[in-house]
Amino acid sequence: YINSNLEKVTADMNSRFLPVTNAQEVIIFATNEPTASPSLIRGNHLPSISPSASMSNSPVFAPSRSSPTNGTLSVKRECNQILEVEKPGKFTEVQVGIYELLMQSYTAEFGSMVSKPQIDTTCEVISQELAGGRRFLSRLLQTPKTLLIMKFTMEYESRYGYDVEDYPRLFQTYINSNLEKVTADMNSRFLPVINAQEVII
């Protein structure tokens, strides 16, 4: 299963914030020697396991969908998204990082359905600001809500022949068609978001 779904496995690792560029094939080694049991190192009390077999040079695989091009294809667009948040306040530096990684992870859900290394996505938050005062919110939304306006850029880059020119629009369409899922994804990553609204490019 793993070896037949390497792109999906890579995308799954990226969506869980593992710094993996490319997951390669699983190789199983047969050995007659028993696997060493864990033993504690006295200095730091960490378990150590001696490997039962060592790998030689790892195989290198060419991209499975397109041939490489001589140049790099890239596109970058500025985006805005309004988030209804639990209480007044901007995202912390850590929360901004989580937001950026989440936006990047959606690349595998549209277009050619691939992410790294075929398509490298970069989300960068430019600014964040709270929406206007209570009077403005009451007039606009009837009931006071705390809104956080996120301004960010989405950049898509490929050295493997993938046409990324339309990726910002595909990203916008995916987010705006899956707002409940996006909100749930933010909640599962401990972002204080009540309701994620549409992305505007």
What one-letter code names the amino acid at 142?
Answer: Q
Distance (Å, rounded) from C-alpha 25 to C-alpha 31? Answer: 19
Residues 2-42 pLDDT 10s: 888 888 887 788 777 677 788 888 877 654 544 444 444 34
At 4 the pLDDT is: 85
Q: Compute the CA torsion angle 58, 2, 117, 19 (nearest 10 deg).
A: -80
Alpha carbon 72 to its chain's center: 21
pLDDT of residue 174: 98
Q: What is the pLDDT of residues 44-58, one digit of tens each?
A: 444 444 444 444 454
User: Which residues of the chain have a pLDDT value below 70?
Assistant: 17, 29-70, 132-143
Task: Look at residue 10 in the predicted model and tell me its pLDDT.
Answer: 79
pTM: 0.62
pLDDT value of residue 23: 84
Distance CA 50, CA 3 (A): 26
